[in-house]
Structure 1
Amino acid sequence: MGKLSTHVLDTANGRPAASVAIALYAVSDAGRALLAQARTNADGRCDAPLLAGDAMRAGRYELEFAAGDYFAAQGVVLPDPPFVDRVTIAFGIADPSQNYHVPLVVTPWSYSTYRGS
């Protein structure tokens, strides 16, 4: 089976984003169901996959990153409310036997993602 992982890069400061709160949700017609919560380590990564083994299933998911809280904790002066606050990345897992890596590249003013492995 595959696994789902993520990491967060703070490109405003040129470093991994440590201690970012992350929530993973399964998304269906009935709404969102919380599957996992994690916090990034000093390397901007989670210590374990967010999904792996039998928990890795085809479907729609959302990763929610507390980017505004991270930048505020770094002492960045942010507007109220922050321009980039909660970043939600909606994505799909079509083949649970593959690895899905969904990183967040973020500044207080922008963000992007891509599918890695």
Structure 2
Amino acid sequence: MAAKESSPLTTHVLNTGDGMPAGRMALSLHRLDSKLMIWTMLSVGTTNEDGRCLGLISPEAFTPGMYKLRFETGSYFETLGQTYFYPYVEVVFTISDPQQTFHLPLLLSRFSYSTYRGS
């Protein structure tokens, strides 16, 4: 995994249903191979106690293209002993200017989610 300080892509998962950060949630970052039309896993991570996962990719590896973050929401809710509707959430996004930094928050409950491009 890339150094946390230099990652151009970060995420933050908030469990809005329970009003707390979603700590210890597994996630993975993938990039689409536009010729073969298959996803390649680039890194895996786990959110910290504050629900953040910072070191997803190095600036050198962050190139223009289509990416997805896959959040293992079902496993997370199972550790809390709660039922859930979505076993995982995949957020697909396009990077055209990798010189920028990107923050992708996930607001999550057991039966809904939303996301946006943060700063």
Does residue 86 (structure 1) correspond to residue 88 (structure 2)? The answer is yes
Which segments of 5 or more consecutive residues in structure 1 lack a partner in the other structure?
Answer: none
Q: Percent identity?
A: 41
- One-letter amino acid matched to 1:92: T
SS at match of 1:7: strand
Conserved 8 A contact 1:2-1:100: no
Does residue 22 (structure 1) correspond to residue 24 (structure 2)? The answer is no
Conserved 8 A contact 1:24-1:64: yes
RMSD: 1.4
**TM-score after normalising by structure 2:** 0.88
- One-letter amino acid matched to 1:44: G
Which segments of 5 or more consecutive residues in structure 2 lack a partner in the other structure?
Answer: 1-5
Moved segments of 4+, more than 4 Å: none
Residues 18-76 of structure 1, C-alpha deviations (whole Å, 9 max, x = no match)? 00000100012320000000000000001x42123211111100100001111111111
| 66 and 58 in structure 1: CA distance in 2 versus 1, 3 angstrom threshold | same
Conserved 8 A contact 2:64-2:98: yes
Aligned match of 1:109? 111
Does residue 41 (structure 1) correspond to residue 43 (structure 2)? The answer is no
Q: Distance in 2 between the 1:25 and 1:2 partners? A: 15
**TM-score after normalising by structure 1:** 0.90
Task: Count how many residue pairs are aligned between Structure 1 and Structure 2.
Answer: 112
